[in-house]
A and B are shown apart, each in its own frame.
Chain A
Amino acid sequence: MKIRNFSLLRPLGLLLVVACAMVACTSSSPPAAEPKFKVALLSPGPVSDAGWNALAYEGLLAIRDQLGAEVSQAETKTPAEFEEGFRDYARRGFALVFGHGFEFQEAAAAVSPDFPKTTFITTSGNTVRPNVAPLRFMLEEATYLQGILAAKMSKSGVAGAVGGMAIPSVESTFLAFEAGAKSVRPEFRTIRSYIGNWEDVGAAKEAAKAQVQQGADFLIHNADAAGLGVFQVAKSNGIFAFGTNKNQNDLAPEAVLASAVIDIPGAFVGVAKQVRDGTFHATITKLGMADGVVTFVLNPALASKIPQATRDQIEATRQAIVSKKTIVPSAEF
C-alpha cells in the first residue's frame, strides 16, 4: 500500500506543478533584442479583473511592446508570497519588478538590500530605499469629483462605498469622495463597508444591498473584481454607481455614471524607460490629473442625466485641481 502511494505522488505532483504554473506565470518573449531588459509584475489578484490588476498587466505589456523588454507576471496573495516573488525575479536578473499596491512595500524594502541591481516599484505607499520607490496615483483627485457629482444628484444625501480590504490607498479614495461630497453638501454621508478580499462578488453585492437598505442612492467601489457586484446592485435598484481605476463605464452602461481612471500603462512605461536608461532616482512619485495620469470620465450614455450647472461645477473643480488651486485631501501614508 505504502509503495503504491509513493508511485502516485508523481502524477499528483505533476498535476500540482502544472496547476501552479498555469495560475502563477504568464511569460512572453519579445523579438530578439539585446541586451535583455527584463521587467516583472507581482499582482495581488487575477489580472482578468477588468480593473486595478488588469491595468497593471496592460502596463507590463506596454513595456514589452514599446521598450522591447522581456516581461513576466505572477499573482501573489500573502506577504510571504510578495517577498518570495520579489526575490525570485531579482535572482533571475530582472532589472525592474513592480509590486502592484500599497501592501507590497514592506516586502520590497526587506528584499532590496540583497539585490541592489534590481529596482522595486510599489504602486502606492511611502517606503523609499536606494532601489525601492513608490509610484502613487492620485486617484483621490477623480473620486473627489465623483463625490461632488453624487452630492449634487443624490436625493437621500447618502452614498455607499464598498472596499476590498481597508488598505490606506483604498481608504484614501473614499476619504476624498466624502470630502468632495461634503464640499458642496456638508450634511452628506458616506457609508463604508469592506468585504475582506478582492474577488467575492457575492459579498460585495450583499454589502452594497445593505447600504442601499440604509438609504444610499449612489455607490462607489474600490474592490477590484468584486466591484462587479456593486454595479449589479446599482442596476437592480435603479441608482447610479461609479467606476474605479479603469474606465468601467461600459461594464454597466445604465448604472455607471462616471469612472475615476488611472493611465497605469503610460506611467509604467515612463518608469521603465528611466530604469533602463539609468536615470531613475528613488523618490515618492505622485501622478495625478495635472500629469494626465488620472482622469475623470463621464459615461456618455448617462451624461444627459446630469444637470448642466453640475457639469459646469465639476469642470471648474477639475481645472482647479489641475492648476493646483484645489488640493484634494488624501489619507496620510
Chain B
Amino acid sequence: MELELFTALCTAAVAMAVPLLFAGLGELLAEKSGVINIGLEGMILLGAFAAFAVAHATGSNAAGLAAALALGGVWGLGFAYFAVVRGANQIVVGTAVNLFATGLTGVLYRSIYGVTGTAMTIEPSPTIALPGARSIPILGQALLNQTPLTYVCLATIPLMALFLARTRAGLELKMVGENPNAAATHGINVARTRTSALVACGIFCAAGGAYLTLDYTHTFVEGMSSGRGFIALAIVIVGRRRPAGVLVAALLFGFVTALQFHFQALALGIPFQFFLVLPYVATLALLALNAGDTNAPAALGKN
C-alpha cells in the first residue's frame, strides 16, 4: 500500500510537472537571450485550446499537437515583433498576450461549442510503456509509462543543456543575453537571435498547453491553465536558469501539489488552505536554500 501510494504520488508529480517544464524551458531560452516573457500563461492557454479544438475536429491528437505548436510559434513571432523589433516594454507585451489569450480562447470556445458549454471530451493520448516500466518500482511507472509528449519533454532537458553549453548557436544566444552590443560587434544578429528564442518559447509553451488538454485532462475549460504560466516563471528563477534546475523545481512543485491532495484526502482535520499553500512554500524554501547567484543574463529585460 505504501509503495502503491508513493507510485501514485510520483506519477502525479510528473503529470503536474510536464506543463510547467515545457513553459519553463521556453522561458529559459527567452531569458537567456535577454527577453522576459511573462506571457507564458496566455501561450499555454492558446496551445491548450488549439490542440483541443483541432484534435476534436479531426479526431487526431497528433494534428492537435501540430496545430498548437504552429500557433505557439506564430504567437512567439508576434511577441518578438512588438518586444524585439519595435522595442516595446516586454512586461506590457507579456501582459497583453495573457489578456488577449484569455479573451480569444473564451470567444472561440463559446462560438464553436456553445455559450453555456457542452463539456466536450477527446480521446486521451495513448501511454507507451518503455522497457523497465514494470520491473523498476515507483519510478518505472512514473517515468517509463507515459505519453510520448512526456518523453519529449524529459528528453529536451539534457538536449537543451547541451545546446546552451556546447553549440555555437547556444553560446551566441547567451552572449546576446549578456551583452547585446558586444554580440552585435561580433556579427551576431541580436534581433534574429532573440526572435528565434521567442518563437521557440512560444512553441514550448504551446506544447505544455497541448499536454494539458491532449494528455492530461482530455477536455478544455476556459482559464484551465490556472496560473501555470506564472508558476513556470518562478520555477525558472528557482531553477537558476539551468535546465536541470528547472527540472528539479518543476518536479518538486508537482510532487508537493500531488502530496497536498493526498494530505487533504487523509482528512487529518487540518484546514485545507494549509495544504493548498504547500507547493508554493516548498518552492520558496528551495529558492531560499539556494539563494545567491541568480544566474540572470546581464541584459535581461533591457531593450
Contacts and interface: CB of A to CB of B under 8 A. Distances in A.
Contact of B117 (A16, A50, A195): A50
Given A8-B86, A193-B261, A206-B261, A199 B114 contact: no
Q: Which of A22, A48, A57, A189 has the largest count of B CB atoms less than 10 A from its CB? A: A48
A231 B244 CA distance: 35
Give chain A's interface secondary structure class.
Answer: helix
Nearest to B266: A214
A200 interface: yes
A229 B261 CA distance: 14
Contacts of B86: 4, 8
Interface residues of A, number: 57
B88 A48 contact: no
A50 B89 CA distance: 38
B119 A207 contact: no
B222 A199 contact: yes
Q: Which of A160, A197, A248 has the largest count of B CB atoms less than 10 A from its CB? A: A197
Interface string B211-233: 01000111101111010000000
B106 A46 contact: yes
A225 B221 contact: yes
Q: Which of A189, A194, A203, A210 has the largest count of B CB atoms less than 10 A from its CB? A: A210
A131 B272 CA distance: 35
Interface in A1-56: 1, 4-5, 8-9, 12, 15-16, 18-23, 26, 45-51, 54-55
Contacts of A248: 119
A48 B303 contact: no
A269 B40 CA distance: 42
A299 interface: no
Nearest to B222: A46
Interface string B287-301: 000000000000000
B250 interface: no
B63 interface: no
B217 A201 contact: yes
Given A193-B265, A225-B221, 15 more contacts: A19-B100, A19-B102, A19-B104, A23-B107, A48-B106, A50-B116, A57-B116, A194-B272, A205-B216, A207-B265, A209-B261, A213-B4, A213-B5, A225-B117, A228-B221
Interface of A: 1, 4-5, 8-9, 12, 15-16, 18-23, 26, 45-51, 54-55, 57-58, 160, 166, 189, 191-197, 199-203, 205-207, 209-211, 213-214, 216, 225-226, 228-229, 232, 248, 251
